[in-house]
Chain A
Amino acid sequence: MTGRLAGVLRRELALAYRQKSELMQPIIFFVLVISLFPLGIGPGPQTLQKIGPGVIWVAALLSSLLGMERLFREDFNDGWLEQMMLSGLPLSLLVLAKVLAHWLTSVLPLLLISPLLALFLNLSEPMFWSLLLGLLLGTPLLSLVGATGVALTLGLQRGGVLLSLLLLPLFVPLLIFATSAVDAASMQLPYNGQLAIIGAMFLLALALTPMATAYALRISQS
C-alpha cells in the first residue's frame, strides 16, 4: 500500500513538473498582489513594516485558493478519481498523498520566495523568521482544509468563487494567530505560543479533514 501511495505521489509531482507555467501562476500572483500594496498605501518603511505580515498572509491565502482547484478538478474530469475509488486504496490516505503533493508543488515555492517579499515590505529579521515558521506550519493547514472545500464543489461546473466563500471564513483563526506571532516578534516577544496553536490546528486538520474530503469526493461521484 505504501508503494502505491508513493506511486500516486510520484505521479502528482511528475504532472506538476510537466505543467510548469501553471505552477508559476500562483507565485506570480502572490508577488504581484504584495507589490501592489506599497503602491496603494505609500512606500513609508514604518507603514509597510506594520501592515507587512498581514499583507503577506492575506496574499498567501488568496494565491493558495487560486491553485486549489487543480487539486482534484482534472482527475475528476478524466475519471482517474473514480478509478482510484474503485482501486481499494483507502481514500483518505490518497487524499493525504495528493494534499502533500499539492503543498510541495504549489505552496512550498511561496515559502521559498518569502525572503524577497520580506525585503519588499521592510520586515526585520525576527519578524521574517516568525513569518516563515508561521507559514511553514500554517500553509499545510490551508491545503488540508482547502482540499475539503475543493472536494465539496467538485460536482459543480464552476466552483471558483463559491470555493472562496466556503474557505476564507475558515481561515480566520489561522490569519489571526499567524499575524499575531509576527507582531510579537516585531516587539522582541516570544511567539512560540501562537505557533503552538497553529500547530495544534494543523494536527486537528490532519486528523479530521482527510475523512471529510474523502466523504465529499464520494458525494461528488454519486
Chain B
Amino acid sequence: MWKWLHPYAKPERAFALCTTLLPWFGVSALLILATGTIWGLAFAPADYQQGDSFRIIYLHVPSAILSMGTYSAMAIAAFIGLVWQIRTAHMAVAAIAPVGAVLTFIALFTGAAWGKPMWGTWWVWDARLTSELILLFLYLGVIALYQSFEDKEQGSKASGVMALVGVVNLPIIHYSVEWWNTLHQGATITKFAKPSIDSSMLWPLLLCILGLALLTGAMCLYRLQNELLRRESHRPWVRAMLLEEEQNAV
C-alpha cells in the first residue's frame, strides 16, 4: 500500500519532489498570505474593545498555531527516520527545526507586542506564554544538538531522539503550566464550538493561517533541498545535476 512512497526515501527522488512542489507552495503562499494580511490589516472591522491593535492577531495566531504544528511535523519526521531508518527523514528534521524556531519566536514577539497595550506589560508568566517559551527552548536544543556534531549522520539521529523526547514532554509541560498559572484569553477558534469571533474577522484569519502554513511548507522544502545537496555533495547525482545546470547556463 505504501509502495509508492518508498522511492521518495532516496535523496535524489526527494530532491526532485521538492523541486516540483516548491513553486506551487511558494506562489500559493504568497497569494493567500497577501490576501489574508491585506484583508485583515486594512479591511476587517476594528474590535469593539481592543480597537485596531487586535489586528496583530493576523500574525500572532497563525505563527503560534504553526509553531506547534511544525514541531509535530518535525517529530513525525524524526519518528519515521528512527523507526524505518530513512536518512531523508533525518534531513527533514534538520531542515524543519530552524523554521519552527523562527515561528515560535515570531509568536512570542508579536504576543509581547500585543500584550503591552492590552495587558499593560510585555511579558507575564502565564501558562501559554511559558509553554511557548519552553517550546522555543526545545527547538533550540534540537538545533544546537544537530549543529554540534561534526558527523551530520550522527547529529541528525541524536537530534531526532531529542525531538521525540520533546514531543512526549510537550503535553506534560503544557498542562503543568496551565495548572500553574493562566491569564491568556482562551482559544478563539476551536473545532467543536462556534468560534467566538465574527466571520468578517475570522475569514482573513483563516486565510492567514493557511497562507503561513504554505509558506512554512515552502521554506521547509527549500531548506530540505539545501540539506540534501550539502549532505549528498559527494554523490554522483549531485555532480551530474550541477554539471547539467552549468551546461544549460552556457
Contacts and interface: CB of A to CB of B under 8 A. Distances in A.
Interface residues of A, dominant DSSP = helix
Contacts of B108: none
A114 interface: no
Given A172-B134, A173-B176, A176-B180, A148 B140 contact: no
A54 to B, nearest CB: 12
Interface in A89-108: none
Interface string A186-222: 0000000000000001001000100010011001101
B169 A170 contact: yes
Nearest to B156: A219
B176 A156 contact: no
B149 A166 contact: no
Contacts of B141: 162, 165-166, 169
A155 interface: yes
A81 B233 CA distance: 33
A222 B154 CA distance: 7
B82 A162 contact: no
A162 B138 contact: no
Contacts of B168: 204, 208
B207 interface: no
B173 to A, nearest CB: 6
Interface in A40-74: none
Interface footprint category on B: 20 to 34
A148 B161 CA distance: 9
B134 A169 contact: yes
A180 interface: yes
Interface footprint category on A: 20 to 34
Interface string A126-161: 000000000000000000010010001101100100
B165 A170 contact: yes
A156 B158 CA distance: 11
B173 A173 contact: yes
B82 A215 contact: yes
A177 interface: yes
B99 to A, nearest CB: 19
B134 A155 contact: no
A156 B161 contact: no
Contacts of A220: 154, 158
Contacts of A208: 168
Interface in B122-179: 130, 134, 137-138, 140-141, 144-145, 148-149, 151, 153-154, 157-158, 161-162, 164-166, 168-169, 172-173, 176-177, 179
Contacts of B180: 176, 180
Q: Which of A156, A162, A173 has the most CB of B within 10 A?
A: A173
A219 B161 contact: yes
Contacts of B145: 152-153, 162, 166
Contacts of A165: 137, 140-141, 144
B147 to A, nearest CB: 9
Contacts of A168: 137
A212 B164 contact: yes
Contacts of A169: 134, 137-138, 141, 166, 169, 173
B159 to A, nearest CB: 8
Nearest to B174: A173
Contacts of B130: 172
Interface in B172-231: 172-173, 176-177, 179-180
A215 B173 CA distance: 24
A216 B169 CA distance: 18
Interface of B: 82, 130, 134, 137-138, 140-141, 144-145, 148-149, 151, 153-154, 157-158, 161-162, 164-166, 168-169, 172-173, 176-177, 179-180
The 5 A-B residue pairs with the shortest CB-CB distance, nearest first, are: A173-B176, A169-B137, A166-B141, A219-B157, A176-B176
17 contacts: A148-B161, A153-B145, A155-B154, A155-B158, A165-B137, A166-B141, A169-B138, A169-B173, A170-B165, A172-B177, A173-B173, A176-B180, A177-B176, A201-B172, A215-B161, A216-B158, A216-B161
Given A148-B161, A165-B144, A172-B173, 12 more contacts: A145-B165, A148-B165, A152-B145, A155-B154, A155-B158, A169-B166, A170-B165, A172-B130, A172-B177, A173-B173, A176-B179, A220-B158
